[in-house]
Amino acid sequence: HKTPMSADQGADEDNNAAPAEGQEKPTPKVPEDLSLSVFKGNDKFSDLTLKAFDAEHKTHKVVIASASAYFYEQLVLSDGAEGELSIPETPSRVTERLQASPASKKKYQAAVDHFLTFAYSNQSAESLSDLLDAQDTDQELILALSGISSQLGAAKLTAQLSTYINERLLCAATGSVYVLNHAWQYGNEALQTRALDALKSQFGVFVHQAGWRDWDALAEMPAEVLTGLLKDTSLAVKDEGDIFKAVSAILMRRTPYDDEGTAAAPS
């Protein structure tokens, strides 16, 4: 198994590569920005390989233990991992999604890297600015990071992401659907209730703005959740046509079809 090389490792190997014929080997220099982030992905002093979602990360015990209650328990309060440690298993619904979708697995791999960026920045809020302030919000990546952060007991990161979810994602019609789906996957009933309330208050907007991925995320919810949503008399819609459109879109995604494209009879 070959571990993917990080950008930091690549730069380190470039600096230490054998010089071409006739060239002198460059003298290693102290980085201008000498901080903890210099050591992210650098295996020179690494004392732990972190395994997550079929990827490996060279890390330092003291850094990740300072940013996560889970890692503190594993590395400080117990006998400690010798050379390798895995993150906690995700809930079964999340695991099934990652097994079925390589794209989703890549999001979770990227989320682990963002957690490490946060840890190696001494848990600086600014370290996530590129992700959270991006014009095109990667909702799935942010929610994946939120789920991982909660499982790891990364209190500062979880608090920052919770604020972002409340102030940015739940305020957007399509965003509330992804939060709803995420909360259901992780069994977070409190967040699921908040997401449902947010979706109800802007359901008419969602119906007219939603793309196929947005409808897929909603249609994946359990039948009792969808039924309760569509029957709710507080749904903010322009007219009954919005509800009819929503029902049609959901049924189209939940109805099994045979090889000829004909709706199969219910079993």
Average pLDDT per consecutive 10 residues, the chain (267 residues; last block may be shorter): 45 52 77 78 84 94 95 88 89 94 95 95 88 86 96 96 94 95 95 96 94 93 93 90 92 70 40
Q: Please return the burial class of 146, using the count of CB atoms within 10 Å of its CB with bins 0-12, 13-18 and 19+.
A: buried
User: By 3-state DSSP, what share of the chain in percent is helix, strand and coil, each rounded to 5?
Assistant: 60, 5, 35
Specify if 8 maps to a domain. Answer: no
Specify if 133 maps to a domain. Answer: no
Specify if 107 maps to a domain. Answer: no
Specify if 113 maps to a domain. Answer: no
Q: What's the CA gap between 263 and 255, in Å, rounded?
A: 7
Specify if 88 maps to a domain. Answer: no
Q: Which pLDDT value is given to residue 264?
A: 41
Specify if 201 maps to a domain. Answer: yes
Does pTM surpass 0.85?
A: no
Total count of domains within the chain = 1
Specify if 250 maps to a domain. Answer: yes
Strand partners, 84: 49
Q: Which pLDDT value is given to residue 221?
A: 94
Specify if 176 maps to a domain. Answer: no
Give the range of the structural domain holding residue 220, as residue numbers without chain letter: 196-257
